[in-house]
């Protein structure tokens, strides 16, 4: 089963060329990747890993040091700016230049590749702009000034502009930066739905690993000493690559919960039996208190929780019944 990539690269080197006060700075050599239609791909990596540099190179904003990026099998540098703007929409996180425009004026800029020299919008252009605002649920703000929007609303407007551009590929650099949890989930959900429903290729960089694990079809992991690793999200998670690329000696990725946990204070072991959400939250509580779970059932230190029978705790063969995590906390200290 072979899917045709819409964007691809083989043996690409990225970085910054020699300048007056710096030698050539090669960030990565021999990178290879593919991007596919109808998928949301999330690019993850620590601060300074080179995510923005990769996105800029991949979109033709910055030349590669070696190798080429192909868009529909043609070197991206061979496209004119006009051609590229009908294929690729870019959403960056800078807040400049757009404050004096209204929401609908800004979204209408997405029609620029199609409107000719005077930028006059046809009836159809207006409909596309309206639909784009509707798709991201920002239509009610269409006459507001962009400067008066919240960060989350402004981010939606930038996405609407990329939608109005009607291009098959949308690339976003940290679209959820500075947003609260509700807006982060909303924006990521929205991008996921756009990828599926409109068959678009969407690549975004993010530090929101847990959201990416839920919504991304593919992950790209980037680390300076390891390079780029690409794969379907679950293949990446189960291969333990997240730990290799993003964890460190004290923060480790827990594959069972899909979360990062701090390992530095884990000093004791306990046996735990519980179902469903009780297991998850008891493990959460115990690891915060410095316990890791052992698979060996023991009467020295063990916990059995069930929503019907409550919390039964055993220490040195003595069993007690507790009724809250508050009591468990005291019991563990006892």
Ligand X SMILES: Nc1ncnc2c1ncn2[C@@H]1O[C@H](COP(=O)(O)OP(=O)(O)OP(=O)(O)O)[C@@H](O)[C@H]1O
Question: In whole angstroms, what is the distance from residue 63 CA to residue 76 CA?
Answer: 10
Of the pair 178, 281, the CB lying nearest ligand X is at 178
- The string of DSSP codes covering 142-196 is TTSBGGGS-HHHHHHHHHHHHHHTT-SEEEEESTTTT--HHHHHHHHHHHHHHHH
> Between vectors from CA 269 to CA 264 and to CA 270, what angle results, nearest 5°?
130
Of the pair 41, 102, the CB lying nearest ligand X is at 41
Least Å from the CB of residue 47 to ligand X: 3
Beta strands, E only, the chain: 7-16, 25-35, 39-45, 66-71, 74-75, 88-91, 169-173, 201-205, 218-223, 227-232, 251-254, 259-262, 268-273, 291-294, 301-306, 310-315, 318-322
Least Å from the CB of residue 52 to ligand X: 3
Footprint (CB under 6 A) of ligand X, residues 205-224: none
Considering the rule CB under 6 A, would residue 16 count as an interface residue with ligand X? yes
- Please work out the total of residues on this chain that contact ligand X, with binding judged by CB under 6 A: 11
Least Å from the CB of residue 210 to ligand X: 17
CA nearest neighbour of 206 among 179, 252, 173: 173
Considering the rule CB under 6 A, would residue 13 count as an interface residue with ligand X? no
CA nearest neighbour of 26 among 59, 64, 52: 64
Least Å from the CB of residue 50 to ligand X: 4
Of the pair 16, 79, the CB lying nearest ligand X is at 16
Of the pair 10, 25, the CB lying nearest ligand X is at 25
Question: In whole angstroms, what is the distance from residue 205 CA to residue 173 CA?
Answer: 5
Footprint (CB under 6 A) of ligand X, residues 19-58: 25, 27, 45, 47-53
Of the pair 28, 291, the CB lying nearest ligand X is at 28
Least Å from the CB of residue 48 to ligand X: 4
Of the pair 49, 313, the CB lying nearest ligand X is at 49
Least Å from the CB of residue 28 to ligand X: 10
Residues interacting with ligand X, by CB under 6 A?
16, 25, 27, 45, 47-53
């Amino acid at each position: 089963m072979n899917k045709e990539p819409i964007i691809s690269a083989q043996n690409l080197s990225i970085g910054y060329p020699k300048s007056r006060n710096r030698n050539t700075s090669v960030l990565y050599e021999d990178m290879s990747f593919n991007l596919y239609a109808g998928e949301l791909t999330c690019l993850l990596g620590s601060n300074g890993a080179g995510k923005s540099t990769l996105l800029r190179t991949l979109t033709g904003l910055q030349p590669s040091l070696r190798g080429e990026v192909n868009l529909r099998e043609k070197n991206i540098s061979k496209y004119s700016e006009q051609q590229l703007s009908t294929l690729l929409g870019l959403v960056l996180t800078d807040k400049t230049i757009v404050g004096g425009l209204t929401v609908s004026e800004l979204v209408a800029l997405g029609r620029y590749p199609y409107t000719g020299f005077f930028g006059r919008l046809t009836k159809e252009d207006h409909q596309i702009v309206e639909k784009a605002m509707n798709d991201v649920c920002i239509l009610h703000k269409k006459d507001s000034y962009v400067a008066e929007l919240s960060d989350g609303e402004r981010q939606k407007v930038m996405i609407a502009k990329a939608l109005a551009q009607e291009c098959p590929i949308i690339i976003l650099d940290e679209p959820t930066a500075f947003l609260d949890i509700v807006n982060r989930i909303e924006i990521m959900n929205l991008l996921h739905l756009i990828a599926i429903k409109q068959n678009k290729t969407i690549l975004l960089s993010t530090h929101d690993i847990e959201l990416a694990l839920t919504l991304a079809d593919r992950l790209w992991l980037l680390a300076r000493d390891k390079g780029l690793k690409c794969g379907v999200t679950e293949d990446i998670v189960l291969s333990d690559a997240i730990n290799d690329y993003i964890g460190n000696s004290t923060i480790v990725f827990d594959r069972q919960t899909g979360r990062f946990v701090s390992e530095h204070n884990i000093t004791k072991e306990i046996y735990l039996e519980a179902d469903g959400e009780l297991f998850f939250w008891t493990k959460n509580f115990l690891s915060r208190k410095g316990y890791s779970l052992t698979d060996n059932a023991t009467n020295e230190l063990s916990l059995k929780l069930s929503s019907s029978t409550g919390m039964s705790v055993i220490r040195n063969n003595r069993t007690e019944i507790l009724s809250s995590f508050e009591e468990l906390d005291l019991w563990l200290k006892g």
